[in-house]
Structure 1
Amino acid sequence: MDACAALADSIARLAVRGYSNRRFLTELGRIAGVRRGPLWVFDAARGGRNHLRGRGFHRAVDDQTDGQARHFAGTVAVTARIGGRLARWLTVIVLRDTPDTADGRLSEQAIEFARAIRSGELAQADAAGWMRRRLCHAAA
């Protein structure tokens, strides 16, 4: 399965629902098995769920597993709740996804995505295209 394309398609479907930017980001987290509401922290701590198994990510952010869609969506959801600085610290220190690894680069892209959506710099309507251009292998 091309999980990157499937994630981009899911983002496009979310974008037409008219959610606030924060809600859009937390809804994206549900794709990674990170619920809305107070129990999100438990889902995030256990790594979420891999609802979109497969590959399709650009080589720079592909760790050769079927969990990159979960990784991206989960990091977006966590960043929406705690901010980019703390999310970055958690990914590097706790998860040991340093910037020189595929997972570290994917985490950084997820943090940037969440920041751009929250600030309004990236419109929800353009988010799926951003995903395809920057992260999906077919676009590389």
Structure 2
Amino acid sequence: MSDRPTIRFLPGIPGGSAEPATNPYPDTALDLMKVMRTHGADVDYSHPPEDRADVAYRSADVWLPVMAFLGSSGLSVGLNILASSIYDLWVRHRQPDRPNPNLHIELQYNDATGERQVRLDGSPDHVIQAIREMSGNADG
């Protein structure tokens, strides 16, 4: 059994309207997946390539994939990996003359109180702070 947190990207666009595509995933999914893997997460799509569609929005907003954190052990580790990955992609190399994007993300997980579904919208810094607060309460 692996100690790495297991995260599955689910079809759908957080806060988005119904998409005409079958099993839509935002086009940010692959980059986020790669960074999360470098931080030690076991991350994958819920559907094989032939059964999913990338959806791109041309906007200052950034839609991240809907994520399911599988299993309750290591939830805080998985959340911290997500926060670090968001930092790496949208904060670390931020250009000072460019505005912050507005991120949209939906998380699904189980904790001591049962099944949870959380939607976060805001600047990368705001979303990271909210995820770190959730992480502090996740495994306790």
Greater C-alpha Rg: 2
Same fold (TM over 0.5): no
Q: Which has the higher strand share?
A: 2
Higher relative contact order (CA 8 A, sep 6+): 1
Could you tell me the TM-score, scaled by structure 1's length? 0.30
